[in-house]
């Protein structure tokens, strides 16, 4: 009886270990094979951003691209496109602020997407609605190549009314 119990415990332990590894492998696979988002594949309405570069070339490069618009029921998504300027850039930081409508918050999603429609970073906002502060932030840390195209996508999840937002894309070393 005791031997059967110990074998059962050992088998359970083996299953848990293998199951944990399998689940971890599946999570990695899910991240690696994430399909492109259908709502960001159409770039015909993308607004092309122009920005400015500053810093010492090759030492401390910084490029900024301001953006802003209004999300409405008739236009529930806005896309802004930018190209990496000359310089050395190792990260993209996108900060966005949006504002209350009649004392209520809209629920907006912020995405950073590459030219292959792959979502690189996404902020859906807080899980608990009363902690909403009207800000979204995404960051992507990767060596950027001059001329590569990236897009910032702002989407409505729920809307309190026409919602104004503005933000900044910042590339830096």
| Whether pLDDT at 141 is above 60 | yes
**What are residue 97's DSSP bridge partners?**
135, 166
Short-list 9, 164, 33, 146, CA closest to 89: 146
Distance CA 139, CA 91 (A): 7
Facing residues of 68 across strands?
A: 166
Supply the mean pLDDT for the chain: 79
Count of beta carbons in the 10 Å neighbourhood of residue 14 = 10
Q: What is the pLDDT of residue 126?
A: 93
| Mean pLDDT for the stretch of residues 99-110 | 92
C-alpha span between 114 and 34 (Å, rounded): 13
User: In CATH, what class is 39-172?
Assistant: mainly beta
Of 7-11, 13-17, 23-27, 47-51, the one with minimum mean pLDDT is: 23-27
- Phi and psi torsions of 92, nearest 5°: -120, 125
Q: What is the mean pLDDT of residues 12-21?
A: 49
For residue 169, give the H/E element and its range. Answer: strand 163-172
Domain ranges of the chain: 1-33, 39-172
How does residue 129 score in pLDDT terms, banded at 50, 70 and 90? confident
Q: Which residues contact 161 (CB under 8 A, 6 or more apart)?
A: 101, 102, 104, 106
What pTM was estimated for this model as a whole? 0.70
Question: Residue 99 — pLDDT band, cuts 50, 70, 90?
Answer: very high
Query: Among 9-13, 73-77, 131-135, which is the least confidently predicted range?
Result: 9-13
42-63, pLDDT tens digit by residue?
455 677 766 656 655 555 789 9
Q: What angle do CA 8, 10, 16 make, to 5 degrees?
A: 100
Q: Round to whole Å and give the CA distance between 9 and 80.
A: 56
Planar angle of CA 49, 95, 43, nearest 5 degrees: 40
């Amino acid at each position: 009886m005791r031997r059967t119990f110990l074998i059962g415990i050992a088998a359970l332990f083996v299953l848990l270990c293998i199951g944990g590894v399998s689940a971890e492998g599946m999570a990695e696979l899910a991240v690696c094979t994430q399909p492109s988002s259908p709502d960001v594949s159409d770039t015909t309405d993308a607004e092309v951003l122009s920005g400015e570069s500053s810093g010492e070339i090759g030492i401390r490069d910084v490029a900024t691209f301001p953006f802003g618009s209004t999300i409405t029921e008739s236009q529930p998504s806005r896309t802004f496109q930018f190209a990496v300027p000359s310089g050395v850039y190792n990260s993209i930081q996108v900060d966005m602020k949006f504002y209350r409508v009649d004392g209520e918050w809209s629920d907006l999603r912020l995405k950073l997407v590459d030219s292959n429609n792959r979502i690189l970073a996404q902020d859906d906002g807080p899980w608990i609605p009363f902690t909403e502060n009207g800000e979204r932030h995404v960051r992507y840390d990767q060596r950027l190549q001059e001329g590569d195209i990236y897009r910032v996508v702002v989407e409505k999840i729920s809307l309190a009314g026409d919602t104004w937002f503005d933000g900044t894309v910042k590339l830096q070393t």
